[in-house]
Structure 1
Amino acid sequence: MVTFSKISRFFQLALIRALRMQAESVFIASFVLLVLSAAIVRLVISSGGLPSIYSSLIYIPLAIVGLLFGFRAGLLFGIITAIVMGPFALSSPFISDNLVSTGWVFLLMSCTFVPVITGLVSSTLKTTLRREQHAKFRHQETGLPNIKALLGYFKSLSKNPRLSDESLFDIIDIRLKNFDDIQQKIGTEKAHRLVKLMAKQLSELLGNQVHFGQASDNELIGVQHAAEKENHNVQDNLKEYLQKEVQAEDGTSYQLDPSASILRVNKRQLTESSQEVLKRSRDRAYRVKDTGDILSFFDESEPAQQQSSFSKQFKDALINNEISLLYQPRLSTVTGHFETLEVSSRWLHPTRGDIIFSEFASMIKENQLTKDYLMWMIESCFADLSQLTQEQRQPKVSIDISLGEDVEPNVLYALANKIQTTDYPPTRICIEVLDSALMNLTPKTRTYLEKLHNIGCNIIADHFGEGFSTIQSLFKLPVDAIKLSDELIHSAASNSDAKRQLASIVKIAHAKGLRTIATGVNSKEKLLLLKHIGCEELQGSVLTPPVLKEALPWERIK
C-alpha cells in the first residue's frame, strides 16, 4: 500500500539525486521535463479532457526552477513554457481569439513572473546564508579563517584516511607584539590589511600546504603537514622572515616585532582533541612572547613507545629531585603588596636543560601521571611551608589541583591530610580548579571540596572564560574567586568590545562576592587596564616571574 510517508521519501531521494548531478545535467533534465509538462497540460486542455484550472500546476515546476537555478534560468524557462502552451505551438482549430489577444499575454506574464520572483528570493537567501557562514568562520576585519574554522580544519586532517596516526603536523603560532602601536599609527583598516598581507606572504614562503588563519587581531595560526622529521628549513625561513620588516602594498615598510612558536604534533593527538592541541600551541606562543625570543620549536609528537619512555624519565626525575617547585607572587591591587604565592614547577632535565612546567604539563596528562605529579607537588609544597613556618613566615599559597577535566578525590584527601598534620592555617591555602572541572564534579569530589572550603580554604575557579561555566553557575558551588583566562585578558587589551565584556565579568563577580584574579599580565598596558576595571589580584612576568623559594622577595610579601 502506498502511504504518504513513502511518497514523501520518494521525492526526498529524487531531490537528493538531482542535487548530486552535474549542473549541466540538471539544467538539461529540468528543461526537457518542463517542456514536456507544458505540452501535456496544453494538449489536455485543448482537447477538453481536463478543466483549465489544472494549467496552474505548471507554476510549481517553474517556481522550483527559479529556486534552484535563479531568476535568469527561471525567466528563460517561463518564456519557453508560455510559448509551448500558447497559440504558436498548436494548430488553428484549438486557438481562440481570446487566447491570442489577452489570454496568452497573461499566461506569458504569469510564467515569467513566478520563477523570477522565486529566483530572486532564492538568491537573497543564498547571499544571506553565505554572509552568515562567512561571519561565523572568518575574522571580522581580514576575512581570514578564525579559530572555529581552524578547529574545523584540524578535524578534517584528523579524519583524513590517507594519513597514518603518526603523521606529523606543525602548528605555527605568530604573535605581533606591537600591533596596537601600529594600529594607532596607521589606522585600524591598514593595520588589518597588513596582517592579511603577512598571512599571504607566509603562505608563499612556507609553501602552499600551509593553511593560515587568524585567532585574534595580533595572532596568526598556521598548520602544515610535516613531510620530514627535521624542519630546520622551515624554522630558518620563518625566523629570517620574522626579523625583516613587512612591506605594505603602498611600499611602506613596518617592523611588527613578531614572535612565533612551532608545535609539532601527530595525527593521533589531533584526533583525540584538536581543541587541546590548539590551546597548547597558543600557550607555547604566549611563553615565547614573554621570554622575548623570536622563535621556539616544541616537538610533542611522541609515539607510544616514547610516551612510556617519558613516564620513566618523569618518575625518575621526581625521585632524583630534578623537578623543583617555583612560586610566583600575586600582587594585591588593594594593598600594593604580594599576598599570594602560586605554586608551579620546573624540570632541570639532564639533556634538555631547564624546562618550565607549561612545556611538560601536556605530557603529564597524556601519560596519566597527573596524580603522581599532584601528590609530589602537595608533599613538596607543605615541606616548604613547614620550613617557612619555622622561619616565622606563613604565606598564602595557591595550588592548582586539576590539570585535566577531572579532579581526583585522593588528591583532595591528601591535601586535607597535610593541612591537618602540619597545622598550617587553612585560610592561607587557595585551591585552584579548572572552571570546566568544577562543572563536572563527582559527588565524592564535591563533598571533599566543600569540606576543605568549610574549614577555611579558598576555592578558585581557574581559566574562567575558557569553559562553559558562568558566574551564576559558579555561585552554586563552593567558590571564592575566579581566575580570568589569559585569552580574555589578551583580547581585552586589544579590543574595545572584549574590554567591556571583561569589565562586565569583573563587575558581576564583585556583585556576587567573588574576588577576581588576572594572570598573563606581561605588559604595562595590561597592568593598568586590569587595575582600572577592578581586578583584586594580578600575576605575570611584568610583575615578577616564578622563582625558587630562596629567591622570593620577602620584603614585598605580606
Structure 2
Amino acid sequence: MWPSKESLENISKFLRATEKYSSEVHLLIGLLSASLIAITFKLIAGAGGVPHVFEYGFVLLIVLSAFIHGPMIGGLAGLIVGMMLSPVVDTSVNTAIRGEDYFWPIRLIVLTMLGLGVGILKRLVLHLHDALHTAERRMTGTNLPNLTAAVEHIDKLIKVSDRTPDKQLNLVNLRLENIEKLRQELGRKATDEFLVMLADKFQKRLGADSYVTQTSSNELTGIHASESADAFEQMQKDINSMLLETVAIQGKERKLEAAAGLYGIGKAGQRNKSVEQLMQELTATTQRAIDNDQPLAAVIDSHSDDAEDIGAFSVKRQLQEALAKNEFVLHYQPRLNTANGYFTSLEVIPLWNHPRRGMISFAEAMPILEEASMVQYFSMWLVRHALHDAEAWFKKGYKFRISLNISLTDKLDAKVLAYILREVRAHTMASGLFSLEVSEAALVNADKKSMDYLTHIQHQGLCIIASDFGEGKATIQTLFRMPVDAVKFTKGLINKAGHHSDKKRELYSLIKMVRSKGLTTIAKGVQNREALLMLKQLGVDELQGPILSKALPKKDIPWARIR
C-alpha cells in the first residue's frame, strides 16, 4: 500500500537527519563501514567459519550504509565487500568458507547494485516528499507561496525573534477587488502572470528580506520583520504609494483596484497570539480599509511592546492628550456631482496621526473611544473643528457642502444633536453649506427627542443624509417619513448591482423612487470606471469613492475642481 502522508513525513525526517553531514564525512564513514564489514567477515571465516546463513547478515549492513549515506557510498560499500569476499583478495579464506567459488563476480555485481539501488530509493523518497511539500505550499497557477507557507514563515520568524533583539513583525495584506473581472477579460493564464508580476513589485516595495505569499485567489500577503522603529511608518508610505500607481496589463495601463491592511505586532504581541489569530487580525484590518473606502488601514497590536502607550496612563487620558496635541486630523473626501462634473461636497474623514503608530483610521480608533466613554466628547470635537474649517473656507470665497457623519455608533446622542444646533445657530454660514450624515441604523433606533433635534437642525438649512442605506435596517418608505434630504447607498448595494442584472434593476427602482420624493441620491465606495458609468446611467446625483479621489489632507484638496 502507498505510504500515507504522515508516514512519508516521518520517513523523510529520518532521512534528512542522515544528510546533515558533509560529503567528505559521508565518504569516510562509508569507506570505514565497508572495510569493517569485510574485515569482520574475513576474521570470522579465518577462525573456522560461521554457518552459511550468517554471511547474508552483512547484506543488511550494506543496505543500512546505502540508506544512511546514499547511492554512491552504498554502491562503494557493496563493491568493497564483494571484492574482499572474492578470491581476488584472499583465495584461502574464500575456500575455507565454501570451497571453490565460481560465482564471486555475480556476488560482486549484486552487492554493488544493492548498495546503489537502496541509495537511489532513498533519494526517490526524499524527492517525492519535497515535491509534495512544495505542492502543498504553492498556489496553483501562479506557483507563489500560499497560506500554508505564510503561516509557517510567520511561525519561524516568531521563534527566531525569541532569541534575537526585539523585532516588530509587520504583515501586509493586499486585496484585489477586480480579480474576477480580470480573469474574464484576460483569461486565467494572463491573470496569473499579472499576479506574479504584482507579487514581485510588492516584494520590492517591502524590501529584499520580505516574504510575499498568495493567501487566496485575490490576496497577496507580505511578511517583514524589522528592528527599525520607523519601519512601520515607512511601510505605510510605500504601500499607499503603490496603491496609487497604475499597472501595465497586456500593454494597457490600469489603476490598481485594491485595498490593503497593515498589521504590526511587537514581541509581546507575537507571544500572546497564535499565528492563525495574527492572520485573522490582518484580514480584519484589510476589511476596515474596504468598509471605510480607504486604500490602506494600519494597526499596531495593542498588546505589543508599545504597551506603554496605553499602560503609562489611562486610555481616556491618552485620548485627551491626543486631542490636545492635535494628533487627530481631518481629511476630506471629495464627492462628484454627476450633473456638472465638479466636486460639490467634501466628506469629513477623521484620522489619528499617532506619534508612534502612524496614521490610524477612525474605524480603528473607534473601539478605543468607546472603551474610554469618549464618543460624545469626540463627536462634539469633530463638529467644532469641521465648522472651523468650513468657516475659514467660506471667508476665502469657497462655497460647497461639508458632509459630517454624526452617528459614530448605531444610536443618536441627543446631547450631541443639541450641541450641533447651538453651533449651527452661532455659525450662520453653515446654513445651506453643511450636511449631517446619519446611518440607517441610527435613524431607526432614534428616540423622539433625537428625532425632534434632527428636525430642528434640518429647519436651520442643514442637509440630513441617511447614510449606509442598504444594510437592511430600514425600508425606503420608512426613510420618507423621517427628516431626510438625501439617501446614501452602501458600497455593497453598488457592488451587487454591478454583478447582477436583477440587483441593478432594483437599484434603479430605488433611485427613481428617492428622486421622485425630491431627495438627492448618493453612492459611496465607487471603485472602478464600470461602476462609475453604471451609476451615472442609473441617475445617481453624487458619487464618492477611490476612483474619484481618496480622503485628502486640507493642503491637497483640488480646489480647481470644486464648485
1:372-399: CA deviation from partner (whole Å, max 9, x where unpaired): 99xxx999699979975769x9xxxxxx
Q: 1:371 & 1:142 partners in 2: Cα distance?
A: 48
CA deviation after TM superposition for structure 1 residue 56, in Å: 0.6
Matched residue of 1:523: which SS? helix
Aligned to 1:154: 154
Identity of aligned residues (%): 17
Q: 1:281 & 1:236 partners in 2: Cα distance?
A: 18
| Contact 1:175/1:219 (<8 A) preserved | yes
CA deviation after TM superposition for structure 1 residue 126, in Å: 1.7
Aligned to 2:286: 285
| Contact 1:265/1:299 (<8 A) preserved | yes
CA deviation after TM superposition for structure 1 residue 219, in Å: 1.0
User: Residues 48 and 278 from structure 1, CA distance in 2 versus in 1: closer, same or farther, beyond 3 angstroms?
Assistant: same
Question: Structure 1 counterpart of 2:119, which letter?
Answer: G
Aligned to 2:137: 137
Question: Structure 2 counterpart of 1:280, which letter?
Answer: E
| Contact 1:46/1:94 (<8 A) preserved | no
Aligned to 1:37: 37
User: Residues 49 and 283 from structure 1, CA distance in 2 versus in 1: closer, same or farther, beyond 3 angstroms?
Assistant: same
Aligned to 1:303: 306
Q: 2:163 & 2:93 partners in 1: Cα distance?
A: 68
Select 1:313's aligned residue among 290, 311, 316. Answer: 316
Question: Structure 1 counterpart of 2:285, which letter?
Answer: R
User: Residues 347 and 315 from structure 1, CA distance in 2 versus in 1: closer, same or farther, beyond 3 angstroms?
Assistant: farther
Q: Where do 5+ consecutive residues of structure 1 fail to align?
A: 1-13, 321-345, 394-427, 430-518, 532-541, 546-558
**Which residues in structure 2 correspond to 1:539-554 (within 5 Å)?**
none
Q: 1:387 & 1:245 partners in 2: Cα distance?
A: 43
| Contact 1:284/1:359 (<8 A) preserved | no
Aligned to 2:196: 196
Aligned to 2:128: 128
Question: Structure 2 counterpart of 1:282, which letter?
Answer: T
CA deviation after TM superposition for structure 1 residue 93, in Å: 7.1
| Contact 2:246/2:255 (<8 A) preserved | yes
User: Residues 21 and 314 from structure 1, CA distance in 2 versus in 1: closer, same or farther, beyond 3 angstroms?
Assistant: same
Q: 2:105 & 2:29 partners in 1: Cα distance?
A: 27
**Which residues in structure 2 correspond to 1:371-390 (within 5 Å)?**
388=446
User: Residues 199 and 26 from structure 1, CA distance in 2 versus in 1: closer, same or farther, beyond 3 angstroms?
Assistant: same
User: Residues 354 and 148 from structure 1, CA distance in 2 versus in 1: closer, same or farther, beyond 3 angstroms?
Assistant: closer
| Contact 1:290/1:522 (<8 A) preserved | no
**Which residues in structure 2 correspond to 1:324-363 (within 5 Å)?**
356-357=362-363, 361=367
Aligned to 1:523: 495
User: Residues 267 and 51 from structure 1, CA distance in 2 versus in 1: closer, same or farther, beyond 3 angstroms?
Assistant: same
User: Residues 213 and 283 from structure 1, CA distance in 2 versus in 1: closer, same or farther, beyond 3 angstroms?
Assistant: same
Could you say which structure has the larger radius of gyration? 2
1:471-515: CA deviation from partner (whole Å, max 9, x where unpaired): xxxxxxxxxxxxxxxxxxxxxxxxxxxxxxxxxxxxxxxxxxxxx
Q: 1:77 & 1:529 partners in 2: Cα distance?
A: 74
User: Residues 104 and 46 from structure 1, CA distance in 2 versus in 1: closer, same or farther, beyond 3 angstroms?
Assistant: farther
Question: What TM-score does the superposition give when structure 2 sets the normalisation length?
Answer: 0.52
Q: 1:351 & 1:109 partners in 2: Cα distance?
A: 77
Question: Structure 1 counterpart of 2:280, which letter?
Answer: K
CA deviation after TM superposition for structure 1 residue 41, in Å: 0.8
1:84-125: CA deviation from partner (whole Å, max 9, x where unpaired): 221221145745999876421331233134333323432332
Q: 1:193 & 1:200 partners in 2: Cα distance?
A: 11
Q: 2:16 & 2:133 partners in 1: Cα distance?
A: 22
1:317-347: CA deviation from partner (whole Å, max 9, x where unpaired): 9xx9xxxxxxxxxxxxxxxxxxxxxxxxx99
| Contact 1:263/1:298 (<8 A) preserved | yes
User: Is residue 2:90 matched to residue 1:90?
Assistant: yes
Matched residue of 2:141: which SS? coil
| Contact 1:347/1:354 (<8 A) preserved | no
CA deviation after TM superposition for structure 1 residue 269, in Å: 1.0
Matched residue of 1:143: which SS? coil
| Contact 1:71/1:119 (<8 A) preserved | yes
CA deviation after TM superposition for structure 1 residue 266, in Å: 1.0
Question: Structure 2 counterpart of 1:155, which letter?
Answer: D
CA deviation after TM superposition for structure 1 residue 213, in Å: 1.5
Q: How many residues align?
A: 363
| Contact 2:199/2:220 (<8 A) preserved | yes
Question: Structure 2 counterpart of 1:48, which letter?
Answer: G
User: Residues 80 and 244 from structure 1, CA distance in 2 versus in 1: closer, same or farther, beyond 3 angstroms?
Assistant: farther
| Contact 1:66/1:115 (<8 A) preserved | yes
Q: 1:281 & 1:32 partners in 2: Cα distance?
A: 55
| Contact 1:182/1:256 (<8 A) preserved | no
**Which residues in structure 2 correspond to 1:319-468 (within 5 Å)?**
356-357=362-363, 361=367, 388=446
Q: Where do 5+ consecutive residues of structure 2 fail to align?
A: 1-13, 324-347, 376-407, 415-441, 452-471, 474-490, 504-521, 526-563
| Contact 1:348/1:354 (<8 A) preserved | no
| Contact 1:71/1:118 (<8 A) preserved | yes
CA deviation after TM superposition for structure 1 residue 21, in Å: 3.9
Matched residue of 2:192: which SS? helix
Question: Structure 2 counterpart of 1:307, which letter?
Answer: I
Q: 1:370 & 1:55 partners in 2: Cα distance?
A: 83
Question: Structure 2 counterpart of 1:279, which letter?
Answer: Q
Aligned to 2:262: 262
CA deviation after TM superposition for structure 1 residue 233, in Å: 4.4
| Contact 1:179/1:256 (<8 A) preserved | no
